[in-house]
Chains A and B, each alone.
Chain A
Amino acid sequence: MKNETQTRVAARGGAQGKAARDGKSDAGAVLAEVAPVAEEVVVREPVNEKGETVCTSDTTLTAEQLLELYRHLMLTRLVEEKLVNLYRQTKVVGGVFRSLGQEATAVGSAYALRPGDFITPLIRDLGAVLVKGIRPREIFAQYMAKAWGPSEGRDLNIHFGDMARGFVGPISHLGDMVPVMTGVVLAARLQQKDAVAVAYIGDGGMSTGAFHEGLNFAAVQRLPLVVIAEANHYAYSTPTSKQTAVKNLADKAAGYGIPGYIVDGNDVVACYEVTRRAAEFARGGGGAVLIEAKTYRRKGHAEHDDQRYLPEGELEFWEKKDPVDRFQRHLLSQGVATQEKLDEIVSNVKREIDEDAAWAESSPMPEAEKAAFNVFDNSVVPPAFRPKVFGRDE
């Protein structure tokens, strides 16, 4: 081990490296040179006998679990497609945010958690929210600003939460949820619960101060926080090269003194496996972990975004790497399921989505005066009704 360290230092050059090679005791002004990782890690996709890309077969997942994963993947994709339909019918009040092409990261990683564990998603992690047991009807009602939505029309899309199901809703300010999740597992430790928290972040969100403060604190406290960095190439229109100078987002783990892993974000099985191992490590007292999932955002920031900033051919390149197609090929070529079985799963998912969308559409809009409630606990402080002119009753 000692030799290996010395060799590495020597290979990187620098004063100490040279001193180590020469056997001299004076290392000079520079004690050591810490070189950045020079290259981006290349994703190597496994192929089946026909030469098609499939998923890793290095897994503990049973056939039944693999099919459940497939169900979650399809549910995520089709809920989003339904949302786009509703959006085009002007039934969605705000924007619609797609995770097309990167669903495997959210679904695979969240599937690796226990019921008592917590997630906080980004807008493109609907899959993780659904895996945690949130029903499509809640999502549809939220997007349509309906009274029956979990936030009763006060906030949009996946901006809500359900602590009983381990879902801590995000806010728009990227990075802020990393400290919050640090607090969740800090509390869990005080309560002697062995919960793990997963915070999703992107190549853009990692540029925020809150991300750094939260992860650093979790690392110092050796808290079981797993941060999943989704390297999906763009933060709105800004490419990763303009967010950070590191080659791999996982390289940042070194700055926190925690382990970092890189996974193929379009391989749902690999995402499951790496998260399962990270969660085990974190739960066992190892502390925080950073996982980078290399993937690609095939839609714009939201439905309105025309993606004019994409280089030619990039989208087509990544369409061929679609994570759902790839997992389907995997299941079929591994003999896990027949096409009929997969079709049956999809038709069940579609039925659930149609029922849930109809339920959400049937919800009334919230009563206007409800806007005044719940700023504070209203048993202590009265609701904030519209003020009267002069503040008087007459």
Chain B
Amino acid sequence: MSTATKKEHKSNRPARGGVVTFVEAIRQGLWEELERDPTVFVIGEDVGAYGGAFKVTDGLLDEFGEGRVIDTPISEAAIVGAACGAALMGMRPVAEFQFIDFISAGFDMLTNYAAKCRYRWGAGLPTVFRGPCGAGVHSGPFHSLNAEAFFQNTAGLKMVEPSTAYDAKGLIKAAIRDPDPVIYFEHKKLYRLPRLREELPEDDYTVPIGKARTAREGRDLSIITFGAQVLNALDAADELEREGLDVEVIDLRTLAPMDKEAILATAKKTSKVMILHEASRTGGLGGEIAATITEEAFEWLDAPVVRVAATDTPVPYSPPLEEYHLPQVKDVLAAARRLAAY
């Protein structure tokens, strides 16, 4: 099959590989898993004829039918609960939250049912809960959430958040094949970002859950980050390079269980660590990563572990307000220069 086509198919069957955007990479992954495994099905609001609010499930209904692409009422508890029930029966549901903000309406089902099922009675639930997260597109307090910290303190839920098209496809496939519940965050700003277009392999592949990626090698200091902030980290690193600073960027990819080895390895390598995330600073993943580094790599550190994150407010709507709220490249640069000065 020819995969050299650069044109992205919309409602048609996606190409295998080829040059694609982030969103098309996820759609390819879903499509291929639906083809490969008859127990996989998709469930969520407007995922059928409409193809999802961001068109991640575009074309699936025509190909796989109403039985496997299920439109639901506006009922996140029902979506999560039904996915869990179906998984008990040996199915592998992929449930969509139209915006990850609405995951709060399914919180109880996720944290009390999905997360604890294997632990309580050995019933593992191979389920994927995916949806668009993230701010920076002026969507206001209810369409901009980064929800990972809500679930970090719940044993039994895995969380992934890719920042490249390659990882987006590899991780959705890995999540679908995983024996346990996986929350799959898709930063909406990345969906159609031209910068992320890349050529994917034609062959089937997965990206392992639990493994971070070195997005940029460096010796002087480390930025540990994930999702859309990987791009800010890389942009800052380019600028810092001109100032003579050699920055390493670690893209976590999996947020739970976190790749502790990779975190400690980069801390020990550069001795100066910044954690960059888009969610609010207080109670965010940054605190947990910083604590791990100070407990386990204290002697290697030449500076305090610093966090660059959003302010402790809801995500505001108006562009100047949102810009104030979110971490910017200039914040990364300032923090890096402070770290370098130690």
Interface residues of A (CB under 8 A from B): 150-151, 154-155, 159-161, 163, 168-169, 171-173, 176-191, 209-210, 213-214, 216-217, 220-221, 374-377, 380-381, 384, 390-392
- A182–B122 Cα distance when bound, in Å, is 21
* Chain B minimum-CB-distance residue to A212: B75
Across the interface, do A210 and B85 meet the contact criterion of CB distance under 8 Å? no
Q: Is B296 on the interface with A (CB-CB < 8 A)? A: yes
Give residues 280-337 of B contacting A (CB, 8 Å): 292, 295-296
Q: Check if B122 sits within 8 Å of A179, measured CB to CB.
A: no
A171–B86 CB distance below 8 A: no
Q: In chain B, what residue has the closest Cβ to A172?
A: B112
Enumerate chain B residues within 8 angstroms of A390, measured Cβ to Cβ: 295-296
- Which partner residue on chain A sits nearest B124 by CB separation? A377
Q: Among the listed A180, A189, A210, A214, which residue makes an inter-chain contact with B88, where contact means beta carbons less than 8 Å apart?
A: A180
12 contacts between A and B (CB under 8 A): A155-B120, A160-B121, A161-B88, A163-B123, A177-B81, A183-B86, A187-B90, A217-B72, A375-B119, A375-B155, A376-B156, A391-B292
Contact: A376 with B118, CB < 8 Å?
yes
Q: Which of B81, B84, B120 contacts A154 (CB 8 A)?
A: B120
Beta-carbon contacts under 8 Å, B48-96 to A: 67-68, 70, 72-73, 75-91, 93
- Contact call B81/A161, Cβ cutoff below 8 A: no
Does the CB pair A176–B112 fall under 8 Å? yes
Nearest chain B CB to A158's CB is how many angstroms away? 11
A169 near B121: Cβ-Cβ < 8 Å: yes
Query: Does B241 lie at the interface of the complex (its beta carbon under 8 Å from any beta carbon of A)?
Result: no
Out of A214, A374, A376, which one reaches B122, CB within 8 Å? A374
Taking CB atoms, residues of chain B closer than 8 Å to A163 are 88-89, 123
**Residue in A151, A183, A185, A190 whose CB lies within 8 Å of B81:** A183
Q: Are A183 and B77 in contact (CB under 8 A)?
A: no
Q: Is B180 an interface residue (CB 8 A)?
A: yes
A376-B158 contact given A161-B123, A180-B82, A180-B84, CB 8 Å threshold = yes
Q: Which 7 A-B pairs have the closest CB atoms?
A: A183-B85, A179-B81, A183-B82, A187-B89, A187-B86, A213-B75, A213-B78
| A217-B85 CB under 8 A given contacts A187-B91, A210-B108, A381-B210 | no
Q: Hey, which chain A residues are within 8 Å of B70, CB to CB?
A: 186, 221
- The reply to whether B122 and A176 contact each other, CB–CB distance below 8 Å, is no
Chain B residues with CB below 8 A from A210, complex form: 77-78, 81, 108-109
CB distance from B291 to the nearest CB of A (A): 10
List, in ascending order, chain A residues with CB within 8 A of B124's CB.
377
Q: Does any Cβ of A come within 8 Å of B140's Cβ?
A: no
Report yes or no: A161 in contact with B121, Cβ–Cβ below 8 A: yes
Instruction: Evaluate contact between A186 and B120: CB separation under 8 angstroms.
Output: no
Contact flag A381-B120 (CB < 8 Å), given A178-B81, A216-B78: no
* Chain A residues closer than 8 Å to B67, beta-carbon distance: 189-190
- Report the tally of A-B residue pairs with Cβ distances under 8 A: 151
Which residue of the partner chain A has the closest CB to B114? Answer: A180
How far is A221 from B108 in the complex, measured between Cα atoms in Å? 23
Kindly provide the distance from the CB of B94 to the nearest chain A CB, expressed in whole angstroms. Answer: 13
Q: How many angstroms between the C-alpha atoms of A16 and B180 in the bound complex? A: 55
Give the docked Cα–Cα distance between A188 and B295 (Å): 49
Does B129 belong to the interface (CB within 8 Å)? no
Task: Return chain A residues, CB-CB under 8 Å to B257.
Answer: 376, 381
- Distance A213 CA – B72 CA, assembled complex (angstroms): 10
Q: Does chain A have a CB within 8 A of B113?
A: yes
B109 and A377 within 8 A (CB): no
A188-B121 contact, Cβ under 8 Å, with A209-B77, A384-B155: no
In-complex Cβ contact of A173 among B80, B87, B108 (8 A): B108
- Judged by a CB distance under 8 angstroms, whether B218 is at the interface is no
Query: How far apart are B296's CB and chain A's nearest CB, in angstroms?
Result: 5
Cross-chain contact A183 with B88 (CB below 8 angstroms): yes
Chain A residues near B41 (CB, 8 Å)?
190
Q: Counting CB contacts under 8 A, is B116 at the interface?
A: yes
Q: A217 touching B120 by the CB < 8 A rule?
A: no
Alpha-carbon separation in the docked complex, A17 to B124 (Å): 56
B167 an interface residue at 8 Å Cβ cutoff? no
Known: A179-B77, A190-B41. A375 touches B82 (CB 8 A): no
Give the residues in chain B near A377, CB-CB below 8 Å.
Answer: 118, 124, 179-180
Contact (Cβ within 8 A) B81 A180: yes
CB-CB under 8 A from A169, the residues of chain B are 120-121
Q: How far is the CA of A150 from the CA of B123 in the complex (A)?
A: 11
Residue of A nearest to B82 (CB): A183
Does B46 have its Cβ within 8 Å of any Cβ on chain A? no
B89 close to A184 (CB less than 8 A): yes
Q: Which of B73, B77, B79, B179 contacts A220 (CB 8 A)?
A: B73
Whole-angstrom distance between the alpha carbons of A216 and B118 in the complex? 27
Contacts of A381 in B (CB 8 A): 180, 210, 257
Contact check, A171 vs B116: say whether CB atoms are below 8 A apart: yes
Bound-state Cα–Cα, A160 to B156, Å: 17
Q: Which of B68, B89, B118, B119 has the most CB of A within 10 A?
A: B89
- If the complex has contacts A183-B86, A184-B88, are A159 and B120 also in contact, measured as CB distance less than 8 A? yes
Which B residue sits closest to A382, measured CB to CB?
B257
Q: Which residues of B contact A154 (CB under 8 A)?
A: 119-121
Establish whether residues A380 and B179, one from each chain, have CB atoms under 8 Å apart when the complex forms: yes
Chain A residues, Cβ within 8 Å of B76: 213
Q: A187 to B85, Cβ gap below 8 A?
A: yes
A186/B78 in contact, CB under 8 A: no
B178 in the interface, Cβ–Cβ < 8 Å?
A: yes
In the complex, what's the smallest C-beta–C-beta distance from B214 to chain A, in angstroms?
Answer: 22
